[in-house]
A and B are shown apart, each in its own frame.
Chain A
Amino acid sequence: MSDKIISPKKDTINTSVINLEQARYWFILYKDTFVWIKNKDILVYNSKNCKSDLFKINDITTKVFEAFQDIHNLYCIELIDLENSIVQDIISRIERMDAGRLICQEKESLKPIVLPPILNFQPNLEVIENNEYSIIKGKAAHYLNEITLYLNKEDKLTRQLVHLDYTKLKENLSILPYSSVSNVNLYAKSITKYVYWEEILEFFANNNIEISINLRLKEIEDFHLMENNSFFNAITINIEVENGTEKDYRIALSKLKDKFQKINWRIFISEEQEYRQQEEIIKLLEQETYEFIPVFTGKNIAFFKENVYLTNNDLKDIEISRKDIFMNQVLNSNYFGKLTIMSNGKVYAGTQMPAIGTINDSVQELVYKELTQGKSWLRIRDMEPCCDCVYQWLCPPPSDYELIIGSPNLCDKIFT
């Protein structure tokens, strides 16, 4: 056998001590397989069947997966010796999760080519190469997909209602038909006291934009119904529940059930006991569309650790597509495309972050600002400790919880 073959090439892994005439193999990974190497771990994730396997770092394992990570090898490496038990273990685990396979070169002498899943995201390339944001600038309004409006709010001192400036609002909303917005969320202390309530409703109905009205359970009794009209079908009512009693629920239902077809319950809970109580009521009333939303009170971290934090088992069970992995590398789907306009006119891209502007700014400007300088829409897991963790792009994107709790990672992972 020639020297050339024995000497290890970048894509050739030869673990044998004695170089005899040996069979040669291609070891390939499939195009949907991701490999991440961080600290002491190597994670292989098959985004097609959502199976993952965690390998411990050692010389040979690292060598194999580093060779796979070298893009120039195009997910195919050459193996000369299969005697080595570590290599055997890698092959069988990879084949078991259907993430790749071994091919004998006698059967296929031509090196197979696989395209490893690396993202080419055009707007980012534009910034890296030309320091240019022309893609974002040109279509700014297209990136807006949801808007939340706080129509009025009670001033704490005067107890007067502060209303959102409608003239400005109207100016800003005129872009909505040319954006990606299909749903508007409305909040108000007293929605029907908003002077331009009817106009706003008509505007959304005319432009085929659906409306969600958010009401607090305890305040539903004060909720004045408008005349029954054709807009009702396009309205979803979200009822926010904090410590609701069965009676509160029943009042709400009797008031809303016949008028609105879509009623969602958004039930805030901060401890186990509360969760059980509320669940009992919701089941008793045979309600089907509800979600429980954990609330951090500053004192219930144990509840969060138990119910919200990701455990090692949760991490193993993550099922996420190749596209969503790419998405996690670029944007935060919790926030992306959403703007919140408060009754005082301030505009937020994430309500736990400082305002990005006011209602006097155009939607296009606000979007551009958030995409180039903002801290919400593009907040990804690129901070410590997530950037040193193999689950960096599998974990759900950071949310408000991380900010409120004050920890970048809500998981069991401790890095030493």
Chain B
Amino acid sequence: MKLTPLHIKESICLVPQITFEVTQACNLNCAYCAYGRLYNSEIKRERKNLPVEYAIQIIKYLVSFWDSKQDPSFSKQVYISFYGGEPLLNIDFIKQVVAYVEGLNLTKRQFVFSMTTNATLLDKYIDYLVSKNFRLLISIDGNKENHSYRVTHNKNNSFDVVYRNVKAIQEQYPLFFRDNVNFNAVLHKKNSVSDIFNFINEEFDKNPTIGELTTVGIKPESKAEFWETYQNKKESILLANNTKTLKEKLFLETPEINQLALYLHQYSQNVYNDYNELLFDSSETERLPTGTCIPFGKRMFITAEGGILACEKIDQKYVLGNVDYSGVYLDFDEIAQIYNDMYSRLAKQCSTCSIKNACQQCIFTLENKDNPICRKYMDKTTFKRFEQYQMDLLRENPYLYEKIMKEVIIN
């Protein structure tokens, strides 16, 4: 199946999240930052702020879809998310966007504000964030030692400030803390999955999400340093002295369990995402190639420069459109073309790939976009082994099947 301009139009109308890169500036200088010295971004980063006018142009543009006859929804929640750098360095932008969105008064869209933050400035702005019912995703890598890559520009560990600020929220706004605050940690050589999990669980009674350092786009001269810093999540769980309980607690945060859930979702023939999937034949609901989301199907990311991207996790060179003071430029035909070209460059590999129905590979995270080679490709033998692995996992943990079938919502 090919991506068509109509797919894009529809996904823009139903976009679930708009993420603004509020500012490129950050008051921390984390050693492993994807915009930092280890990485090779083709885009030069200054300390630019995103003009409020750009954000308003984007929202106006989307309102024209939300208000239109072609909107199939009865109502829909849209996340308005603030991302950085450190978004709280540009609180004026946030306040103005929030005020603008609150003034919209749309019947078919409800807005939820959210933010990813390093928590260093939370003491200053928490009253405002609580008043607007913000969802907060706080970056913390574990205890002080675990957190020591997250340093200020003067190379001081930011842990004490972060910890103090987060504890203050927990004490002053316990309900807000319970319902609106979550944690994300980066795994590296100075922590472990078990360290992170135990710390956040004991200190804050929360289960964190844990990410690895991105292995794409590392400068050749920094490779040695990168691998000194990198730690693999699966291995980290295996090395823990409580692997079994850790896996049970982490559940989908365990890479193998996550993979098993995806496998069962795609290959068990027991999972249906929608009424129409049950009602109509599956041949009528074909899949797009690779594991890339439909552009804007998950979110729309606006860079501080005014670039429009499919998400914040991919290199900013993959702009799909632009916004400036005069308006939004998005050409659906052109975007469809970009995607279809990328698909076709992989088509040969995908056509014989046995994992294609549960593909998790995003085309934008492959190295060498002109001549990409997918490392997740599976031939029949590898896929058999992969399936066997899933069965072994179930044999050892039979409870997982029921838990995944009865509890797991994908997306």
Which residues of A are at the interface with B, using a C-beta cutoff of 8 A? 31, 71-74, 110-111, 113, 115-123, 125-126, 129, 134-143, 145, 174-175, 177-180, 322-323, 326-327, 330-331, 333, 336-337, 362, 364-365, 367-368, 371
- 6 example contacts (A-B, Cβ-Cβ < 8 A) are as follows A110-B395, A125-B408, A140-B73, A331-B275, A333-B279, A364-B72
CA distance in complex: A331, B39 (Å): 51
- Which of chain B's residues have a CB closer than 8 A to the CB of A31? 269
The answer on a CB contact under 8 Å between B402 and A331 is no
Question: Contacts A73-B398, A137-B76, A138-B14 given: A125-B272 contact, CB under 8 Å?
Answer: no
> Nearest CB to that of A143 among chain B residues?
B275
The answer on a CB contact under 8 Å between A364 and B270 is no
Residue interface mask B384-398, A partner, CB < 8 A = 1 = 000000010011001
B278 at the A interface (CB under 8 A): yes
Known contacts A120-B404, A122-B272; 12 additional CB pairs below 8 A are: A72-B402, A120-B270, A120-B405, A122-B274, A123-B273, A125-B409, A138-B16, A139-B274, A140-B74, A327-B279, A330-B275, A368-B74
- Which residues from 70 to 125 on chain B have a C-beta closer than 8 Å to any C-beta of chain A? 70-77, 108
B156 at the A interface (CB under 8 A): no
Which residues of B are at the interface with A, using a C-beta cutoff of 8 A? 10, 14, 16, 69-77, 108, 264-265, 268-276, 278-279, 391, 394-395, 398-399, 401-402, 404-410
- Which of chain A's residues have a CB closer than 8 A to the CB of B275? 123, 143, 330-331, 336-337, 371
CA distance in complex: A292, B364 (Å): 57
> Nearest CB to that of A130 among chain B residues?
B409
Of B70, B76, B278, B394, the residue contacting A326 (CB under 8 A) is B278
- Which of chain B's residues have a CB closer than 8 A to the CB of A117? 269-270
Question: Contacts A71-B401, A72-B402, A122-B271 given: A175-B407 contact, CB under 8 Å?
Answer: no
- Which of chain A's residues have a CB closer than 8 A to the CB of B272? 119-122, 326, 330
> Nearest CB to that of A74 among chain B residues?
B398
The answer on a CB contact under 8 Å between B410 and A118 is no
A291 to chain B, nearest CB (A): 21
The answer on a CB contact under 8 Å between A137 and B278 is no
CA distance in complex: A365, B275 (Å): 17
- Which of chain B's residues have a CB closer than 8 A to the CB of A119? 270-272, 405
> Nearest CB to that of A132 among chain B residues?
B77
Of B73, B270, B404, the residue contacting A139 (CB under 8 A) is B73
CA distance in complex: A71, B404 (Å): 12
> Nearest CB to that of A11 among chain B residues?
B398
- Which of chain B's residues have a CB closer than 8 A to the CB of A142? 72, 276
> Nearest CB to that of A126 among chain B residues?
B409
The answer on a CB contact under 8 Å between B394 and A125 is no
- Which of chain A's residues have a CB closer than 8 A to the CB of B269? 31, 117, 322-323
- Which of chain B's residues have a CB closer than 8 A to the CB of A139? 14, 72-73, 274
Question: Contacts A134-B76, A175-B69 given: A74-B274 contact, CB under 8 Å?
Answer: no
CA distance in complex: A135, B278 (Å): 15
The answer on a CB contact under 8 Å between B278 and A179 is no
The answer on a CB contact under 8 Å between A178 and B74 is no
B348 to chain A, nearest CB (A): 32
CA distance in complex: A336, B278 (Å): 11
The answer on a CB contact under 8 Å between A115 and B407 is no
The answer on a CB contact under 8 Å between B69 and A174 is yes
The answer on a CB contact under 8 Å between A134 and B77 is yes
The 8 closest A-B pairs by CB, nearest first: A141-B72, A368-B74, A140-B74, A364-B74, A71-B402, A174-B69, A113-B391, A120-B271
